[in-house]
Chains A and B, each alone.
Chain A
Amino acid sequence: MQGCRALRTTLSTLAVMAGMSGGAAAQELTVWTLTGAVEAENAAWAQIIEEFEAANPGVTIRIEQRSVDEHKAALRVAARSDQGPDIYFMWAGLGLGGEFVQAGLSAPLDAYYEQYGWEDRLLPSAMGFTTAFTEERHGVPYSFAGEAVYYNKALFEQAGITAEPQTYEELKAAADALKAAGIPAFTFGGTVNWHLMRLMDVILETKCGAETHDALKAMTADWTTTPCAVESFAELADWSANHILSPFMGIDQAQSFNLFLANRAAMMLEGDWLVGQISQAAPIEGFDLFIFPTGTGRLYGFAEYLYISSRSEHPDLAAKFLDYLLSDEVQQRHLGAFGAISVNRNVEYQDVGDAEQQWLDIFADHSEIFVNGDQAFPLDVTTEYFRVINEVAQGNMTPEEGAAAMQSFIVNRG
Chain B
Amino acid sequence: MMRRSLRPQAEGYMLLLPALVVYLIFAFYPMIDVIRQSFSEWNGLDAQSRFVGWNNYRVVLTQDPVFWGALVNTVLWTLAAITLPNLIAFGLALALNQSLPARGTLRAIFYLPVIIASIAVATIWRWMYDPFFGLFNSLLTEWGMSGWIQDWLGNRKLALWSVFVAHLWSSVGFSMVLFLAGLQGVSQTLIEAARIDGAGRYAVFRHVTLPALGPTITIVLVLSLINSLKAFDIVYGMTGGGPAQSTQMLAMWAYTQAMQLGSFGRGAAVSVILLIITLVIVIPYLRWTLRRSTT
Contact = CB atoms under 8 A, between A and B. Distances in A.
A409 B65 contact: yes
B262 A387 contact: no
Contacts of A190: 154, 242-243
Given A259-B132, A387-B66, A100 B45 contact: yes
Contacts of B244: 386-388, 390-391, 394, 396
A111 interface: no
A383 interface: yes
Contacts of B59: 412
Nearest to A73: B259
Interface in A62-103: 69, 72-73, 76-77, 79-80, 99-100, 103
B261 A380 contact: yes
Interface residues of B, number: 32
A193 interface: yes
Contacts of B153: 191, 249-250
Interface residues of A, number: 38
Contacts of A7: none
Contacts of A251: 130-132, 154
Interface in A25-67: none
A102 B130 CA distance: 41
Contacts of A379: 260-262
Contacts of B152: 250
B127 to A, nearest CB: 10
Contact of A255 (B44, B132, B156, B261): B132
Q: Taking chain A's interface residues, is the majority helix, strand, or loop, or is none over half, making it mixed?
A: helix
A383 to B, nearest CB: 6
Nearest to A383: B261
A387 B244 CA distance: 4
A247 B131 contact: yes
B240 interface: yes
Contacts, number: 91
B114 to A, nearest CB: 26
Contact of A250 (B130, B245, B256): B130
A405 interface: yes
Q: Taking chain B's interface residues, is the majority helix, strand, or loop, or is none over half, making it mixed?
A: loop
A274 interface: no
Nearest to A388: B244
Contacts of A249: 151, 153-155, 242-243
A196 B243 CA distance: 12
Interface string B54-98: 000001000101100000000000000000000000000000000
A388 B243 CA distance: 10
Interface string B152-181: 111110010000000000000000000000
Residue picked from B132, B243, B259, B263, most chain A C-beta under 10 Å: B243
Contact of A390 (B45, B63, B243, B262): B243
B260 A191 contact: no
Interface in A171-220: 190-191, 193
A259 B131 CA distance: 12
A387 B67 CA distance: 13
Given A80-B45, A103-B45, 12 more contacts: A69-B260, A191-B153, A247-B155, A250-B154, A250-B159, A250-B243, A255-B130, A255-B132, A379-B261, A387-B244, A390-B244, A396-B156
* 9 closest A-B pairs by CB: A250-B154, A249-B154, A247-B151, A103-B45, A390-B244, A250-B153, A76-B44, A250-B151, A412-B63
27 contacts: A73-B260, A76-B45, A76-B259, A80-B45, A99-B43, A99-B45, A100-B45, A190-B242, A191-B242, A247-B131, A247-B151, A249-B151, A249-B153, A249-B155, A249-B243, A250-B130, A250-B131, A250-B153, A251-B154, A255-B130, A379-B260, A380-B261, A386-B244, A387-B66, A387-B244, A396-B156, A396-B244
Interface of A: 69, 72-73, 76-77, 79-80, 99-100, 103, 105, 190-191, 193, 246-251, 255, 259, 264, 379-380, 383-384, 386-388, 390-391, 394, 396, 405, 408-409, 412
